[in-house]
Every structure is written in C-alpha cells, then in structure tokens.
C-alpha cells in the first residue's frame, strides 16, 4: 500500500526549496533594513518625499489705458530622465527633435547618456593635455556654429554652470560614474508645443511649468519699464522699483511623487498656496510713447547725435506721459547688447547731466519778477560789455544774437534770449536769491523720480561761486542739470508756480484686480515756487519765443499759443569748452493759457549734420517739439487756448521797477 502522494525525498526537496527562498528573502530584508539602510533611506526620501515649489506669476506692467508693457508667460521646462528611456521612446527621438527645432544627434545624446564620467586628473602645469574633464554638455551657440546646425534655444534663465543642465545621483558605481537622473532639453517650450509633445507619450520626459518675462513691445519705454535678468531678478526700471509688488509670493507643499515623477496628491502633508504678483499701471501712454520714440528715431537718422531725450508730461500733476532716450535697446534682447554699447541701457534723462543753457533763463526772470524787481517792460542796456557789481567790474557774456536796439525789455530778453540781459537779472537778484530760486525750481538735488538711477546735477552754494558766476549762471552756464530737472523747472511755469514731483505710477492692483494704490493728483516738492500771477506773466513772455520775432518760430503750432524756451550750450570736452560740439534743446508747453502738455527735446552733439555745422535749439529741437505737439492734440484732446493772454498779463505788470 502507498504511504502518500509523494516520496520522502520529494518532500525534503520541496521543504529545502521553501526554506532557501525564505532564507534569501530574509537575507535581503536584513540587507535592506540593516546593512544598506541609510543608503536606501536617502534614495527613497529623494525620490518620494519632496518639497514641491509652486512658482508665483510676476505681475504685469501696464500703461495708463491698460496696454501691456511687461507680462509673464507660462513656459515649460522640458527634460528627460535617461534611466527611464524605453525602446519605444528611442524610436520617437527624431520626431521630438524636429518639434524642438534641435539637431537629432544632440537630443539623442541626452537620451542615451546615463552616466557622468569621473573627472580626469588635472594635468600638471605646462601640460598640453586636452583630455575632457568628464561628461560636459555643450549644446550652446558655439557648438551649433561649429556643426553649422541650429542649436537648442539658449535658456533665458540658465547659467553656464553644468549643474543647471544635468542632475546626478550622489552615489557612484564601481567605475566612479554618477547616474544622470535629469537632463534639460529646452526651457522655453510653449504650452501649445508641449500639448503636441504630450501626444508622443514618452514617459521619460519631465515637464515643469514656470513663468518667463516678456515685453510685447520690444524697446517701447525700455528705460522706464526695465527688465529682469536670466534668473528672473529685477535689474532696472519699474521692474526693479516695483519689485515688491510685482514679484508675488511663491507657494510650496510637501508631498510625494511616484516612479514616473507624478505627484501623489493623497500624500500631501503641508501646503501653502502661491500669491501672484500685483499689476502696476503707469502714467505712460503707449501711443504717446510711440510718438516720442518715432521722433527720436527721426532725429537719430537725420542728425546722428551722440544721444537725445524727449519727455512729455502733464504739467498740472507732474505725471509722465512719455519718456524716451536715444540710443535705446530691446528689452527682450538685453543680453545681446555688446559690452561696449551698454551705455544705451542707461536712462540718460535722469542719469546724465548737461549745461541747460538759455532754457535756464526762466529762473532768473521769474525770480526777479516774483521779488518785484522788474516787470516784463523793464528795460536794460544789453550792449555794455562790462558792468560794476559789488565793487568789482565784471565782464558780461557775449550775445549769440544781434539786436536792432541797445535796450531790451525783460520780455524781449526772454523772447530774443539775451545773455547779457539774463546776467543783469541775475545781478539784480544777487547770489543768495538766485541760488534759492534755482533750488526752488528743482536744481541741485534729486526730484524723486522712481526709476533710472537719478542724479542731482551740479549747483554749488554761493560761497563757492567765482565772482563771474553771477553773470554766467543766469544764462545756464557753470551749472549742470538732468533733462528731467529742466523739464520740471519749465513745469513750474506751466503749473502756475508749483514744482511737481515727476510721477509715473498711477495704480496698483492685486491678483484679484482690486485696487490697492491709486494716485491721480500731483505731489508738490516743497512750497510754492512763484505766485500764479508770476507764472502767468512768464508764460506770456515765453509765448514770444515761439513767435515770428522770437528765437524759435519753428516751435509754433497753428491755433495754439506755445510757450517755451530754446537752449544752445557749448559742451565741455576734456575740461574745456569746445565750440564744435553743442547740446540743443527746446522746452515748452501749450496751450499757454491753460497748459495741458509739456514737452522737452534735448539733442546732444548733432553738429556734424546740423545746418551750418552747428546744432541750435531752434533748428534741431524746436521742429521736433512742433511735430510731437501736433500729433498729441487729438490724442490728448487738447483744446485751443483763449485769446488775449499776452495783452492782459503784460498790462497787469505795468508800473513795476524799470
């Protein structure tokens, strides 16, 4: 009779097999949980438990009418984990390379390179060795040029460090190699392109959504808007000034990912939601800014100056409507500006200084009228070459224009830009009062403009003046100002006697669209500079500049009374005045009776191609003022002025000191 279904031998063999399996399993568990525990804990922690950052969207910069000047666009950083590449993925590399616009050989190399080779020993000094120091990805523009093939687009945020290109495991294999777990393929993949890439179903690909800064209008208002660098750090302009509001707050969460880098939402332990940045609305109007930059382009083509600035503002509040400089740059290509040309990235309207010349004469004239020393009809002998002043005989400056009569009224001194007449006005005021008025008009200190690296200019205290300075400063020499300072000084006349702080931020909205900051009124700097009556008197006299008898009839605009002043100053080169180089300017506003817009045009060193080889404010700057003003009339809905201002204002000052 049989003793069972199996022999004793078979039972022993089967039992031995089971015991061996359980022994091996036990040994493996001991190895994992005891011997190699720390290594596997590091691997599991890195692979599963992760701090996942949720990037905040940087807020937009808008113009007054809501047009976008700077925005953040969602982009995909596309990478590959070479250790996860399957045979079916390798068959799709060619299609992926075509979609990325990159050479197939380079993309394939990133897919198939799974290890970083150990670094070669550093050769001794003087060695001619050219052995590579390990695996180096060099897929940038230089390599592409060498192969005459298009390269994978350069990263707008990546540095040249290799760590930004690959991620490696900290452990090494028996040959000292490190496993590569991630390699960047491209970081500016659009959402539309990524949707097509997803259809390839390549499980080895990874995608991280980030935001990249974009400037839809390229160089429009470049010196105002500013830019962020490759690391998305603010570097200049409004991007830097308003970064606290624009940048937002990143969110984060602690969670886990599976083997395919997919987040396992059920394992989230902590979560802080992101807060997107606020949007900042500027007083800049894109249409006005475009007019300014087109005019600068015309000036550059016609005169080829060293630099030029145009400023447009509302003189009733100090808000800037347009500000442009030549030369400029494309905000989207700031990194392409050659090192020797990086001066074009500076906001010269507030960062560079110049002698303002005859435009500064408004300070001495307004001060003398305000103090009751003269009226518009007070006359001075402008033929005398020397004059006694406080026990000294001072030489008066020469005249740039010829006059038909020896004596000129204050109104004629302004209209015809008499240097000697301005000097006489300055001497009437005296050093202390002239200095006080210059400071009140905004010279010698920063105006508080929020962007551009503003400087304060040069205005020495009276005790540091040379004796002759009292005859030179009233005509705008021996001082230095920024273009914006001169613009705001003219704004004192246009505003009725108040120096407004130049402003550019009108509104700030949070991510939900709620207004958190709003300003539409002007912010005065100090107290009243001159009375409204004095400002009106000055406006009436400045109308004579743009008349047929004045120094700039080219600035006149049909149907509107234009008030303004020309300036032509010799540049200082190598410490000396050089009569071959000038700064030409025209600063004015209209309508003179109720000013709605102030415009400044400053052109530096346009002599080579100017009529007669000399760049006058009348010939170089005034025509641009006229062209800009005519274009602004329908855009800003500027109404013609009331008649009779000049007669009424001049009559009101009869009886003053002569």
Q: Is the pLDDT of residue 121 over 80?
A: no
- pLDDT, mean of residues 373-381: 95
Task: Mean pLDDT check: name the lowest of 59-68, 110-119, 411-420.
Answer: 110-119
* HEC sequence for 582-631: EEEEEEEEECCCCCCEEEEEEEECCHHHCHHHCCCHHHHHHHHHHHHHHH
pTM for this prediction: 0.80
Sign (positive or negative) of CA dihedral 105, 110, 116, 120: positive
CA 547 to chain centroid:
38
Q: Enumerate the domain spans of the chain.
A: 51-117+136-282, 286-652
pLDDT above 70 (res 433): yes
Output the pLDDT for position 119: 64
Give the E-state strand segments of 415-513 in sequence order: 505-509
Distance in angstroms (rounded) separating the CA atoms of residues 604 and 299: 11
Band of the pLDDT at 113, cuts 50, 70, 90? confident
Whether domain 286-652 has CATH 3.40.710.10: the reply is yes
Task: Grade residue 587 by pLDDT with cuts at 50, 70 and 90.
Answer: very high
Whether 342 has a pLDDT exceeding 80, the answer reads yes
Q: Give the pLDDT mean for 489-496.
A: 97
Weakest-pLDDT range from 142-146, 278-282, 328-332, 389-393: 142-146
Check if CATH label 3.90.1310.10 holds for domain 51-117+136-282. Answer: yes
pLDDT of residue 147: 37
Which helix or strand (DSSP H or E) is residue 47 part of?
helix 37-47
pLDDT score, position 124: 52
Q: Look at residue 52 and tell me whether its pLDDT is greater than 80.
A: no
At 601 the pLDDT is 98
Q: How far apart are CA 29 and CA 3, in angstroms?
A: 39
Per-residue pLDDT, averaged over 281-288, amounts to 97
> Is the bond leading into 511 cis (omega within 30 degrees of zero)?
no
Is residue 598's pLDDT more than 80?
A: yes
Fold: same for 51-117+136-282 and 286-652: no
Instruction: Say which range, 159-173, 271-285, 446-460, has the weakest mean pLDDT.
Output: 159-173
Percent of the chain residues topping a pLDDT of 70: 84
Q: Percent of the chain having pLDDT more than 90?
A: 59
Q: What is the pLDDT of residue 657?
A: 33
Before 516, cis peptide (omega within 30)? no
CB 502, CB 320: distance < 8 Å: yes
Whether residue 482 contacts residue 352, with contact meaning beta carbons closer than 8 Å, is answered with yes
| pLDDT number for residue 556 | 95
- For residue 434, the model assigns a pLDDT of 97
DSSP state of 37: H
**Which tokens sit at 426?**
């300055």
């Amino acid at each position: 009779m049989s003793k069972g279904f199996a022999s004793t031998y078979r039972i022993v063999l089967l039992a031995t097999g089971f015991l061996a399996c359980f022994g091996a399993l036990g040994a493996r568990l001991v190895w994992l949980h005891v011997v190699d525990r720390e290594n596997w804990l590091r691997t599991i922690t890195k692979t599963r438990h992760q701090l996942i950052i949720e990037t905040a969207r940087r807020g937009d910069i808008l113009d007054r009418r809501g047009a976008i000047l700077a925005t953040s666009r969602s982009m995909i950083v596309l990478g590959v984990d070479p250790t996860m590449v399957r045979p079916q993925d390798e068959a799709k590399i060619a299609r992926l390379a075509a979609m990325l616009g990159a050479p197939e050989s380079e993309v394939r190399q990133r897919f198939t390179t799974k290890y970083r080779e150990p670094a070669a020993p550093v050769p001794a000094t003087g060695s001619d060795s050219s052995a590579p120091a390990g695996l180096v990805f060099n897929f940038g523009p230089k390599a592409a040029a060498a192969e005459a093939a298009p390269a994978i687009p350069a990263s707008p945020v990546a540095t040249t460090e290799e760590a930004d290109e690959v991620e490696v495991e900290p452990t090494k294999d028996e040959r000292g190699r490190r496993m590569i777990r991630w390699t960047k393929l491209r970081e500016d993949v659009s959402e539309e392109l990524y949707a097509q890439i997803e259809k390839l179903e390549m499980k080895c690909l990874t995608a991280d959504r980030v935001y990249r800064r974009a400037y839809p209008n390229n160089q429009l208002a470049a010196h105002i808007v500013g830019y962020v660098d490759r690391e998305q750090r603010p570097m200049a302009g409004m991007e830097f000034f308003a970064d606290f509001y624009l940048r937002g707050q990143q969110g984060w969460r602690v969670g886990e990912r599976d083997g395919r880098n997919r987040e396992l939402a059920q394992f989230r332990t902590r979560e802080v939601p992101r807060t997107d940045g606020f949007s900042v609305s500027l007083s800049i109007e894109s249409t006005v800014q475009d007019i300014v930059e087109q005019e600068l382009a015309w000036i550059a083509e016609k005169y080829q100056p060293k630099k030029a600035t145009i400023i447009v503002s509302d003189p009733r509040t100090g808000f800037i409507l347009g500000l442009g400089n030549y030369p400029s740059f494309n905000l989207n290509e700031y990194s392409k500006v050659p090192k020797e040309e990086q001066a074009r990235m500076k906001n010269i309207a507030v960062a560079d200084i110049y002698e303002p010349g005859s435009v500064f004469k408004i300070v001495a004239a307004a001060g003398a009228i305000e103090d009751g020393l003269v009226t518009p009809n007070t006359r001075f002998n402008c033929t005398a070459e020397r004059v006694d002043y406080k026990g000294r005989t001072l030489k008066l400056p020469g005249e740039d224009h010829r006059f038909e009569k020896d004596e000129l009224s204050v109104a004629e001194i302004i209209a015809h830009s008499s240097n000697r007449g301005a000097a006489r006005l300055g001497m009437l005021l005296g050093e202390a009062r002239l200095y006080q008025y210059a400071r009140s008009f905004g010279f010698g200190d920063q105006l508080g403009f929020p962007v551009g690296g503003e400087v304060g200019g040069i205005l020495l205290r009276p005790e540091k003046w040379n004796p002759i300075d009292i005859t030179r400063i009233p005509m705008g020499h021996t001082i230095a100002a920024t273009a914006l300072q001169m613009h705001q000084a003219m704004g004192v006349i246009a505003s009725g006697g108040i120096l407004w702080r130049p402003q550019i931020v009108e509104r700030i909205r949070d991510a939900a669209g709620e207004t958190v900051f709003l300003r539409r009124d002007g912010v005065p700097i100090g107290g009243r500079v001159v009375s409204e009556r004095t400002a009106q008197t000055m406006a009436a006299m400045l109308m004579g500049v743009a008349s047929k008898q004045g120094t700039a009839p080219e600035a006149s605009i049909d149907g509107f009374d234009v008030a303004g002043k020309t300036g032509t100053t010799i540049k200082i080169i190598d410490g000396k005045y050089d009569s071959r180089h000038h700064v030409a300017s025209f600063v004015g506003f209209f309508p003179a009776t109720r000013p709605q817009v102030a415009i400044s045009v400053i052109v530096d060193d346009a002599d080579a191609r100017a009529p007669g080889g000399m760049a006058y404010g009348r010939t170089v700057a005034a025509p641009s003022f006229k062209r800009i003003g005519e274009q602004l009339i329908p855009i800003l809905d500027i109404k013609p002025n009331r008649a009779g201002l000049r007669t009424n204002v001049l009559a009101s000052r009869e009886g003053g000191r002569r």
